[in-house]
Structure 1
Amino acid sequence: MPAGDGFNAALEAMLGTEVAGFRELKECQQLTAGASQQTFRILVDTASGDAQFALRRCPPTLEGGPSLGQIDLATEAYLLQRSAEAGIPVPAVVHVLEEGDGLGNGFLMEWLQGETLGQRIVRSESLAQIRPQLARQCGEILARLHAIEVDANLAGQLPGVAPAVLVQETWDWYQALNLPAPMIDFSARWLLENLPVSSRKTLVHGDFRNGNLMIDNNGVRAVLDWELAHIGDPVRDLGWLCVNSWRFGQVERPVGGFGTTADLLAGYEAVSGIRVSEEELRFWQIFGSFWWSVSTLQMAATWRTGHTPSLERPVIGRRSSEAQMDCVNLLFPGEFELPAATELDQGTQLPMPAELLEGVRTFLQEQVAANENKHFSFLAKVAANSLGIAQREFLFGPALAEAEHGRLQALLGDGSLDELRWKLVNELRGGLSLDTDALAEHLRQTVAGQLSIDQPGYTALR
């Protein structure tokens, strides 16, 4: 079991009250998925036999409140109940945690069987027959979701965010981190200058993507993780599902790595009667990558301050360059150069720093990650990935920084690398034309170079 005796005792007491015929808590396993909320698989013995449940809980380190637009878990439970009434596939809520339960904020829900790992959903042979139908099913589900009436109760619990405010708030979150990432500023400027002409206001899931969907042989079994729900432009959900980060390598299938936009939009129109244009979809696809580029940095920042100690969060912060490169490819695609492969044995010191990192990385990846404990194995892979990033920084970072400095000097004049990064950021925030000569080329090459360090296998570099 993942927690101490106090947690287990409180959990057993709650289950004894809320689960009919409860006899004993047999297992409580924390799942590896979920960067901002904890999910546990609960196995209990009841008078009718074994029963499984899922417990969604806010981590104790985040009890001060949700971040980046997240709603609390009690509201998430209410949304699941409303969605079930609207015919949307969701797990049934069994109990919303109360203060007397001693378990913090969260809720208990039924455990459903199905695949939730995006990599498997896009590749598994067992799902090959249903995959071509998933994009249309997603369109139909989103149409029903967006038709849910926003009554006074729901409006009082969810934030309402217009597109312009959503872009500006995300930009403000990034600026508060005090990090110079010019591509993020460029993307924010483009979004604010190309806002949707007309925008509906409906319930929005906010994180409807491959990885938050449970799939079985019949299709979408459940829509999960409603913590970013809000009232806003419904096309955001459609665009987020098409973001490259959630295709898991299947770039030729823009909808979740499993389908086409034509099927997605046809399913949406068939249920809602509303035709969404490719232009609307593209705006929210760009926003989705922009938002994810900021969200990953914000999660890493909570690790740096010590508010969220985690092995995974600093590595997630390095995923910002993935989303930034997706913005590059959507806004100004073109050619770029990547560092040439470097042999690890180059140098006069034996072993070289990169070789030392390679030895530890290989040990973690090939031996420690083979541990039967799935959560421990997952963390070993995260650690190996972290060392790989540091290794590539040793090998390629100096040359990439020198090239970036040269481009910035050509654009902006003299100054150190950090000074010129900040100068470009401040000029973009101050109104520098997005069509400035050599700006797009500089950003494309800089982001591609950073991504070659952070995640060289990411599909945006193909």
Structure 2
Amino acid sequence: MTDLSEPLFAFMTRTAGPGALSGLSRLSGGANMESWAFDWADRSYVLRRAPSAEYMEGRPYGHPVEAALVQAAHAGGVKAPEVVGVLGDADAMGTGYVMRRVIAEVSPAKILPSPPPSLVADLGRELAHIHALPRAVVPAGIPVMDTAAALAELKARFLSYGGDRPAIALAVKWCEDHLPEPVDPVLVHGDYRMGNVMVDADGLAAVLDWELAHLGDAHEDLAFGCMTVWRFGRLDRPAFGVGSLADYFAAYEAAGGGQVDPARFKYWLVYRTLWWALGCLQMGQAWRSGADTTVERVVIGRRTAEQELDLIRLLEEEAPAAERQRALPPSPDAASAPTGEPTNREMVQAVRDWIEGAIKPTSQGHGKFEAVVAMNALGIVMRDLDADIRAEDAALAGALLSGGATLAEPGLLAKLRRAALDKCAVDSPKYAALAAARGEWRG
């Protein structure tokens, strides 16, 4: 039982009538919000919440607007959860809402090895249904995205974080140079990807996590789930790690979605990869500021390297053929073998081994998840101590951002590739695109 038991009991009694609360447990994962599963009167529910109003500061809208959108989507025939009640201040549980629980699989690791045959078509069809929801049913608090303004905000954030990551600077400049013409906005889910959809034997069962929804370009949603990071290692299946882009686009268009524009799709693939690179850096800032001091935040903060690798793979076709064929410079020399007293790396190794041997086996649920995250954090530190790899290069980033340097410059692409490989090897050595890039770049 947790300190949520008493206020949740009172909330459900008022919302759903008399019953007994049982099975209250926190679900694993969740980069931003807490999710709690429980049973009430022989039915299953999920509480989605932020523990305090302060946690929601800076977001374009709060849980009441989000819940209203989920309700509208559900009523409009979209496979969104059914909301049964929204928390108020008097409920003393922070902000959030309660939904009926959908019993289906959400883990990409369990879905992607053998997805239902209909899944890629289901994903395209459901996205068309989301985009077709009438503007009149979208709550007034849902913002409209101006692409140029949003890109300018990303650039400002990059500069506020130091403005010294060359791969990010390259992507900002490319997006500025390829800004698409505005289109009539539709409802965009904003986080439509594996990990936020539930799947059963019949295919797509539910679309979760509507907190980033806005009105904007449909191609943003079309591209987001096709980012390399959200394919969870299935690099041979460019649509969500499930199937082909051709099948995905065909299903979207057949269900009433607009015609897919490949150039616009490419723009949003780059933009959202850039967005997530900065999102990872923002996680580190959230920890540094004290807004969120969980270990998960600092670990996600180091996943920026994955997105930098992906950005270079997306944009390298801008370089001349001779530069794409240029050999990579060597990596820095490895650290020498330690002697004498235990090194910092060995001290970290000892702590990591203790967590793995003594803490993780006795943990359950979210506690086990946190133990694994802590082990990952210490693994990054160990590799970093060995390699001493830095991603920052303020002079080069500034030159790329201004257009003073481009991928036509002899040796620049090779330098960026080497830096991306070495940094990703420290921060995310199991990232599937790292092995692919090594093969493609002969690195």
TM-score w.r.t. structure 2 length?
0.90
**Candidates 299, 303, 314, aligned match of 1:315:** 299
- Counterparts of 1:38 and 1:107, CA distance in 2: 11
**Candidates 365, 370, 379, aligned match of 2:370:** 379
Q: Does 1:441 align with 2:441?
A: no
Q: Does 1:37 align with 2:21?
A: no
> Closer, same or farther in 2 for the Cα pair 1:61/1:278, shift >3 Å?
same
Q: Does 1:430 align with 2:427?
A: no
**Candidates 202, 209, 228, aligned match of 1:225:** 209
**Following TM superposition, by how much is the alpha carbon of 1:307 offset from its aligned partner in structure 2, in angstroms?**
1.1
- Counterparts of 2:74 and 2:301, CA distance in 1: 35
Q: Does 1:26 align with 2:18?
A: no
> Closer, same or farther in 2 for the Cα pair 1:461/1:74, shift >3 Å?
same
**Candidates 102, 122, 127, aligned match of 1:112:** 102
5+ residue gaps, structure 2: 318-323, 436-443
CA contact (8 A) 2:230 2:241 kept: yes
- Counterparts of 1:425 and 1:206, CA distance in 2: 28
> Closer, same or farther in 2 for the Cα pair 1:273/1:43, shift >3 Å?
closer
**Following TM superposition, by how much is the alpha carbon of 1:446 offset from its aligned partner in structure 2, in angstroms?**
1.5
CA contact (8 A) 1:43 1:52 kept: yes
1:127-183 superposed Cα distances (whole Å, 9 cap, x missing partner): x361x32111111111111111112x7363111112222222222222222352121
CA contact (8 A) 2:238 2:245 kept: yes
**The residue matched to 1:60 in structure 2 has which SS?**
coil
**Candidates 49, 59, 69, aligned match of 2:51:** 59
**The residue matched to 1:29 in structure 2 has which SS?**
strand
5+ residue gaps, structure 1: 405-417
> Closer, same or farther in 2 for the Cα pair 1:376/1:116, shift >3 Å?
same
CA contact (8 A) 2:55 2:291 kept: no
**The residue matched to 1:239 in structure 2 has which SS?**
helix
- Counterparts of 2:103 and 2:156, CA distance in 1: 40
Q: Does 1:282 align with 2:266?
A: yes
What does 1:199-214 align with in structure 2 at a 5 Å threshold?
199-214=183-198
Q: Does 1:82 align with 2:54?
A: no
**Following TM superposition, by how much is the alpha carbon of 1:337 offset from its aligned partner in structure 2, in angstroms?**
6.4
Q: Does 1:140 align with 2:125?
A: yes
Between 74-83 and 379-388, report the one with greater CA deviation: 74-83
Give the structure 2 partner of residue 14 of structure 1: 11
- Counterparts of 1:273 and 1:394, CA distance in 2: 50
**Following TM superposition, by how much is the alpha carbon of 1:284 offset from its aligned partner in structure 2, in angstroms?**
1.1
- Counterparts of 1:395 and 1:76, CA distance in 2: 45
Which amino acid in the other structure matches residue 112 of structure 2? V
**Following TM superposition, by how much is the alpha carbon of 1:30 offset from its aligned partner in structure 2, in angstroms?**
1.7
Q: Does 1:102 align with 2:92?
A: yes
> Closer, same or farther in 2 for the Cα pair 1:251/1:129, shift >3 Å?
closer
**Following TM superposition, by how much is the alpha carbon of 1:341 offset from its aligned partner in structure 2, in angstroms?**
10
**Following TM superposition, by how much is the alpha carbon of 1:272 offset from its aligned partner in structure 2, in angstroms?**
1.4
**The residue matched to 1:190 in structure 2 has which SS?**
helix
**Following TM superposition, by how much is the alpha carbon of 1:367 offset from its aligned partner in structure 2, in angstroms?**
4.5
CA contact (8 A) 1:338 1:448 kept: no
1:205-252 superposed Cα distances (whole Å, 9 cap, x missing partner): 000000000111111110000000011101101100100111111111
Q: Does 1:167 align with 2:141?
A: no
Give the structure 1 partner of residue 384 of structure 2: 393
**The residue matched to 2:381 in structure 1 has which SS?**
helix
CA contact (8 A) 1:95 1:108 kept: yes
Which amino acid in the other structure matches residue 58 of structure 1? A
What does 1:235-254 align with in structure 2 at a 5 Å threshold?
235-254=219-238
**Following TM superposition, by how much is the alpha carbon of 1:195 offset from its aligned partner in structure 2, in angstroms?**
1.8
TM-score w.r.t. structure 1 length?
0.86
What does 1:410-421 align with in structure 2 at a 5 Å threshold?
421=393
CA contact (8 A) 1:42 1:53 kept: yes
**The residue matched to 2:118 in structure 1 has which SS?**
helix
1:288-316 superposed Cα distances (whole Å, 9 cap, x missing partner): 21110000111110111111111110000
**Following TM superposition, by how much is the alpha carbon of 1:74 offset from its aligned partner in structure 2, in angstroms?**
1.3
1:35-76 superposed Cα distances (whole Å, 9 cap, x missing partner): 1111111223x2xxx322101112327435244xx5321111
Q: Does 1:355 align with 2:375?
A: no
Which amino acid in the other structure matches residue 271 of structure 1? A
- Counterparts of 1:71 and 1:260, CA distance in 2: 35
- Counterparts of 2:427 and 2:330, CA distance in 1: 13
**Following TM superposition, by how much is the alpha carbon of 1:120 offset from its aligned partner in structure 2, in angstroms?**
1.4
**The residue matched to 2:43 in structure 1 has which SS?**
strand
Which amino acid in the other structure matches residue 252 of structure 1? D
The alignment yields a C-alpha RMSD, in angstroms, of 2.3
**The residue matched to 1:272 in structure 2 has which SS?**
coil
Between 155-164 and 428-437, report the one with greater CA deviation: 428-437
**The residue matched to 2:184 in structure 1 has which SS?**
coil
**The residue matched to 1:220 in structure 2 has which SS?**
strand
**The residue matched to 2:338 in structure 1 has which SS?**
coil
Q: Runs (4+) of structure 1 moved beyond 4 Å?
A: 333-343
**The residue matched to 2:209 in structure 1 has which SS?**
coil
- Counterparts of 1:273 and 1:52, CA distance in 2: 34
- Counterparts of 1:154 and 1:229, CA distance in 2: 10
- Counterparts of 1:319 and 1:239, CA distance in 2: 20
CA contact (8 A) 2:69 2:139 kept: no
**Following TM superposition, by how much is the alpha carbon of 1:32 offset from its aligned partner in structure 2, in angstroms?**
2.2
- Counterparts of 1:314 and 1:133, CA distance in 2: 37
Give the structure 1 partner of residue 428 of structure 2: 455
- Counterparts of 1:456 and 1:338, CA distance in 2: 18
CA contact (8 A) 2:329 2:415 kept: no
